[in-house]
Amino acid sequence: MAHLMQMNSTDKLWKDLTFDLIALGVFEEPELTKLGQEVDLAIGGQITSAIANGDIKGKAKETTIFFAADYRVLVVGLGKKEKFDFEVVRRASATVTRMAIEKKYANLALEVFGSDVSASQALAEGVIMGSYQFLNYKKEDEDQFELVSAVALNADAAGIEKGSKIGVAVCLARDLGNHPGNVATPTYLANTAADIAKEGGMKLTVLDREEFTEMGMGALAGVAQGSDEPPKFILLEYHGGGTEKPVVLVGKGLTFDSGGISIKPGAKMDEMKYDMCGSALVLGVMKAVAVLKPRLNVVAAIPSTENMSGAKAYKPGDILTAYNGKTIEILNTDAEGRLILADALAYVSKHFDPEFIFDFATLTGAVLITLGHIATGILGTDDELLDRVKKAAMVTGEKFWELPLWDEYCEHVKSKIADLKNMGKTRQAGTIAGAAFLKEFVGKDIPWVHFDIAGTAWSDEEVPYNVKKTASGAVVRTVLEVMGV
């Protein structure tokens, strides 16, 4: 849990605070804010000189540091004024925390960049997300350093508090993703759900192998057969909205995906510890719901198991029967995510009368080929709901791209001997085939969007608020935005 647990705000004057680093923002064609002018005066006009002689240009990612007797000043570039938005603020505040970690400055003060108090939430999100490190297993590293405090000046206190809580929820999703498969087991996910349930006054139900098999979840049971690690079907219910229909969130909790009998190649197989990032995302959202307590009803469902090749493992050619009675011919045991989600989607469709369903899964390698690590693939049955996701993304700065779910593609997952088969045509439209399969398990007329996060759940892209090659916690913020939290 190596990240700031909160950002604070203060009405005090900067002169009356103690900090190791104070951060100021400047646009291109730099002009200092009122606070900036005061700090500049206190350090003998160095910032004005640096602007005048062109050392500070205000370009995005630019950082310039000045040294006073007992603190430092960091001037961070915000880019062109016309391009200013919350994402600029998030990236700039995360740039500040990343630099502070690198230089070991523990206590930070930041102005709200762009002098826009409505950006306070984004400022805090960037600070918390940018403070994240995964240090749990670095026992002998003497270089370890964690930030101690961050305070916002001239901010909207409520915005800082909210952004800070959302940032912490994103960090929870990251931690779950980053823990290895021998730690973050289905049991571990269930225990995390229990903590969240307690914090948020939610109802928790955890079904074990025997129970969900008995109930008819033949697809989840089939995948779980190859592993001795106890699988779980986890349900979390939050009631904050009276009699309204609940928002339902389903997350793939595949805690290690070896591919099963259709075993994966060895290279990068370690990354398949991230195959539970859909469930981590859902738990991240529920964590934020637990502390922000919005006036709505939310149900989270997490089918969780390993995909292994033990003696009882399911095999290519097997036929499984899902919770809604549909039969599935298994052609590749590595297409397991859609199977465990099938039962979860059918279960929530039947029991919760959802306002809408979102499911989140590291479902296909194909989405990485299509969109790289930049955007999450989305597909669904309801244009209005898809639009809500796209609109929310404009606020959160996360990227989504819709792929078509036309009838022609839905034919790709029809089987000759069963209702469905668990893969489409080889090397064709793999991400769409995944969604086409899932669609068969979503109740008729329930608006639904599937999020394929296989490219965005972890990343090799450099973003100030993400640490490369570790879990990103992507999409948590956008889901909260769609729900109006």
Binding-site ranges for Mn ion (CB under 5 A): 257, 334, 336
Q: Does 359 bind ligand BES (CB under 6 A)?
A: no
Q: Which stretch binds Zn ion (CB under 5 A): 29-37, 127-135, 288-296, 334-342?
A: 334-342
What minimum distance in Å lies between the beta carbon of 193 and ligand BES? Answer: 21
Q: Which stretch binds ligand BES (CB under 6 A): 4-12, 76-84, 111-119, 356-364?
A: 356-364
User: d(Cα 46, Cα 53) in Å, to the nearest integer?
Assistant: 11
Q: Which stretch binds Zn ion (CB under 5 A): 248-256, 308-316, 344-352, 400-408?
A: 248-256
Amino acid at 367: V
Q: Does 423 bind ligand BES (CB under 6 A)?
A: yes
What minimum distance in Å lies between the beta carbon of 179 and ligand BES? Answer: 17
Classified as helix, coil or strand, 15 is: helix
What minimum distance in Å lies between the beta carbon of 415 and ligand BES? Answer: 14
Q: Which is closer to ligand BES, CB of 165 or CB of 373?
A: 373
Contact present, 330 and 317 (Cβ < 8 Å) = yes
Q: Which stretch binds ligand BES (CB under 6 A): 202-210, 278-286, 329-337, 400-408?
A: 329-337
Beta strand pairing call for 327-329 and 356-361:
unpaired
What minimum distance in Å lies between the beta carbon of 31 and ligand BES? Answer: 45
Q: Does 335 bind ligand BES (CB under 6 A)?
A: yes
Q: Does 277 bind ligand BES (CB under 6 A)?
A: no
User: d(Cα 68, Cα 405) in Å, to the nearest integer?
Assistant: 59
**346 closest CA partner among 187, 190, 215, 207:** 215
Q: Which stretch binds Zn ion (CB under 5 A): 34-42, 55-63, 194-202, 254-262?
A: 254-262
Q: Which is closer to ligand BES, CB of 192 or CB of 305?
A: 305
Choose, by CB under 6 A, the member of 93, 362, 370, 466 that binds ligand BES: 362
What is the H or E stretch that residue 380 is in?
strand 376-380
- What does 423 interact with, of Zn ion, Mn ion, ligand BES, none (CB < 5 to 8 A by kind)? ligand BES
**326 closest CA partner among 437, 469, 191, 480:** 437
- Per the listing, tokens 């819709």 go with 402
- What does 48 interact with, of Zn ion, Mn ion, ligand BES, none (CB < 5 to 8 A by kind)? none
Choose, by CB under 5 A, the member of 337, 430, 455, 464 that binds Zn ion: 337
- Per the listing, tokens 């529920």 go with 286
Burial (Cβ within 10 Å: 0-12, 13-18, ≥19) of residue 249: buried
Is 264 noted as a catalytic residue in this protein?
Answer: yes
Q: Does 336 bind ligand BES (CB under 6 A)?
A: yes
Q: From the candidates 264, 315, 399, 414, which is the catalytic residue?
A: 264
What minimum distance in Å lies between the beta carbon of 257 and Mn ion? Answer: 4
Q: Which stretch binds ligand BES (CB under 6 A): 153-161, 227-235, 333-341, 343-351?
A: 333-341
Q: How many residues bind Zn ion (CB under 5 A)?
A: 4
Choose, by CB under 6 A, the member of 257, 329, 359, 440 that binds ligand BES: 257
Choose, by CB under 5 A, the member of 275, 355, 398, 440 that binds Zn ion: 275
What minimum distance in Å lies between the beta carbon of 425 and Mn ion? Answer: 17
What minimum distance in Å lies between the beta carbon of 187 and ligand BES? Answer: 20
Residues between 364 and 423 with contacts to Zn ion, criterion CB under 5 A? none
Classified as helix, coil or strand, 297 is: strand
* Tokens representing residue 364 in the block: 């296909």
Q: How many helices (H) and strands (E) does the chain have?
A: 15, 18
Burial (Cβ within 10 Å: 0-12, 13-18, ≥19) of residue 409: buried
Contact present, 357 and 250 (Cβ < 8 Å) = yes
Q: Does 430 bind ligand BES (CB under 6 A)?
A: yes
Q: Which is closer to ligand BES, CB of 93 or CB of 422?
A: 422
Q: Does 257 bind Zn ion (CB under 5 A)?
A: yes
Cα-flanking dihedrals φ and ψ of residue 292, to 5°? -90, -15
Which long-range CB contacts under 8 A does 346-352 form with residues at least 24 apart? 346/322, 346/441, 346/443, 347/217, 347/233, 347/301, 347/323, 348/248, 348/250, 348/299, 348/301, 349/324, 349/441, 349/442, 349/443, 349/446, 350/323, 350/324, 350/443, 352/246, 352/248, 352/299
Choose, by CB under 6 A, the member of 93, 324, 364, 381 that binds ligand BES: 364
Choose, by CB under 6 A, the member of 365, 401, 414, 470 that binds ligand BES: 365
Q: In 352-416, which residue ranges form alpha helices assigned H by DSSP?
A: 366-371, 383-396, 407-410
Q: From the candidates 98, 209, 338, 477, which is the catalytic residue?
A: 338
Rg of the Cα trace of the chain? 24
Question: Residue number with the shortest CB distance to Mn ion?
Answer: 334
**424 closest CA partner among 313, 335, 315:** 335
User: d(Cα 394, Cα 321) in Å, to the nearest integer?
Assistant: 40
**301 closest CA partner among 178, 204, 421, 423:** 204
User: d(Cα 395, Cα 478) in Å, to the nearest integer?
Assistant: 8
Q: Which is closer to ligand BES, CB of 163 or CB of 251?
A: 251
**Catalytic site residues?**
264, 338
Q: Which residues bind ligand BES (CB under 6 A)?
A: 257, 275, 332, 334-337, 362-366, 368, 423, 430, 454
